[in-house]
Amino acid sequence: MPKRPDFTAGTGYEVMVAYLNNYIERSMKKNKVVGLSIALVDDQEVVWARGFGYADLAEGIPATKNTLYRVGSISKLITATAVMQLAQAGHVDIDAPVNVYLPEFTIKSRFPDTVAITARNIMTHHSGLPSDYLRGMYTRKPESLEQLIAGLKDEYTAFPPDFVFSYSNLGMSILGRLIEELSARSFADYMEHEVLVPMGMDRSSFVRRDDLEGLYAKGYHNRKEQELFCLRDMPAGSLYSNVVDMSRFMKMIFAGGRAGDTQIVSPETLARMLSVQNSGIPLDLDLKIGLNWMISEKPGVGAIIGHDGSAVAFFSEMYAITDRKLAAIVLTNCVEGADMAGQVCMEALESLFEAKIGRPFPGKKEPSPGITLNEAELATYEGYYDTVFGVTSIGADGNKLTAVIKDRSLILEPRQDGTFSVSSCLFGFLPRKTPPFDEMVISFQDVAGRRVMAGNRNDTLVLMGTRISPVAIPPAWLKRMGRYINATHGDDGIYIRGIELRMEDGFLLADATMAGPQEYTMTLALEPLSDSQAVVMGLGRNRGNTYSATEERGWTTLHACGYDFRISEQE
């Protein structure tokens, strides 16, 4: 990859643009990315916007600054803006229980005497709601938000509210239904006419528009076109937009909530949205979040805000340096762009900072030197952990640790500062640096009575996993070992194909296999609460979910994430 040139104040952005053109073209070739669009914003000016590669491979249609992509979870920032408009107008109190405004919303809870689920803790991903209600989430014929809410009455929350950051698309869909209830309009219609058009985002919408059909990018995996299933959870991730319109959104942020002559939200409301909301929650470690805005502090730079997004084959990134009113937006249309989108976005933002300010963007901390730990010291880290990669066993191997995730081994080498560097294994034993582990640094801490695994991301500690221990498994669950097939996925395009229950080293494990463009299996550990219910062990996204089991007419049915999985006792 080309080395970033030295920028000096007064040279303008020409050198930066030439460098980024080269950087992006090489990065796309290296990662086999089909199409990408980028825009850079300096306060109220778009200093550069263009497309690379293709929006449509078969037709040879190039990607441009006007190409429309699915921006995935960046949609949540627009939805949060609508909620705060309503709050500012006095139509909703974001600290009141959601069902004050949405009486139809009800969900079971195993956590008595906790605070209510509110719009605020939904927008900070601390509501305790399940991450997703997967049944019908990606499908050819999505149900309405009203139907989704009605189906939650027999489901359970995953955690107590305000306990731990646990990302929830479901929560944002509940807020979308709240917007419908308060406005007596469909979510997509309200967002277009009350939020998007007033911001000048005339080509953006939460549903595909016939008048814009020639501008939509197609999605790819291995250069093969992917079916773009409808997303039921529109408020969480179905926005279609381009980098020009997303630049208008960022200009509104930099202008104190104003777009042209229209005050979208007041400066005071905007300040609330961009202020840290989760102080005092130990399990969040260094993670900071506003009202749907992710926030980090960079010494010498200030606050960096933003969000990323994914929707089947589309991956997006948007970051901004608020003190300098600088922003970068990157949208891609293929699975291969998943990691590259973030890399390009940060490279562009850092280059923009250097070109404007005339000094280097502060670099990452130098890695701490390696050290040798004795057998007793290494033993304190051993055990099973539920991690973002699934259940992982960690054990001592000479003077380092080995983490085993399914059939893959990772080497954890101790450093002087108490952290561990991570390498994957070539041929099962030779350490090598490969994405996404090449820049990963982890540490182990005792927080709120738990041994947690923390990942260092841009000098920010975030929760990656927690140590788990075997629990007693009732005979009723021991009899349920075997493969369960999804019996209710209907027209879903992305769904849990099946779940295999098995025992290993005293743990009741569930191997959940996802069907879709990227089929994969995640291993989760279950803790039985009774003969009929178990919960997913661990903390964070898709943890705390309830698995319920019933036996009837010779069949065992396992219910999880809205689906029924069945196995015959006679087989």
Question: Where are the chain's structural domains?
Answer: 69-357, 375-457, 475-568
d(CA 6, CA 17): 13
Six-digit token pair at 240? 């279609």
Residue 500: is it exposed, middle or buried by C-beta count within 10 angstroms (0-12/13-18/19+)? middle
In this predicted structure, what is the pLDDT of residue 567?
85
Which runs of consecutive H residues, i.e. helices, occur in 364-439?
A: 375-379
pTM over 0.85: yes
pLDDT band at 136 (very low <50, low <70, confident <90, very high): very high
* 3 state SS of 266: coil
- Per-residue pLDDT band for 6 (boundaries 50, 70, 90) equals confident
| Mean local confidence (pLDDT), 512-536 | 93
Q: How far apart are CA 5 and CA 126, in angstroms?
A: 42
Taking CA atoms, 143 is separated from 154, 280, 432, 488, in Å, by: 18, 38, 46, 15
Express the helix, strand and coil content of the chain in percent, nearest 5 each.
25, 35, 40
Nearest Cα residue to 178 out of 133, 120, 131, 135: 120
Tell me: the pLDDT tens digits for 264-280? 999 999 999 999 999 99
- pLDDT category of residue 491 using cuts at 50, 70 and 90: confident
Supply the pLDDT for residue 459: 75
- Identify which of 268, 323, 327 has the alpha carbon closest to the alpha carbon of residue 44: 327
- Residue 558 confidence (pLDDT): 96
CA 133 from centroid of its chain's CA atoms: 15
Taking the C-alpha atoms of residue 262 and residue 36, their distance in angstroms, rounded to an integer, is 31
What CATH number labels 69-357? 3.40.710.10
DSSP helix/strand/coil, 339: helix
The packing angle between helices 169-183 and 75-88, to 10°, is 40
pLDDT bin (cut points 50, 70, 90) of residue 176 is: very high
Higher pLDDT, 553 or 341: 341
Q: Are 367 and 53 in contact (CB under 8 A)?
A: no
Q: At what angle do helices 337-357 and 14-31 cross, to 10 degrees?
A: 170
The CATH class for the domain spanning 475-568 reads mainly beta
- The answer to whether residues 432 and 446 touch, using CB atoms and an 8 Å cutoff, is no
Q: Per residue in 507-516, pLDDT tens?
A: 999 999 999 8
- Helices then strands, each counted (H, E), the chain: 12, 33
In this prediction, residues 379-392 reach a mean pLDDT of 94
CA angle 515, 236, 88 (to 5 degrees): 170
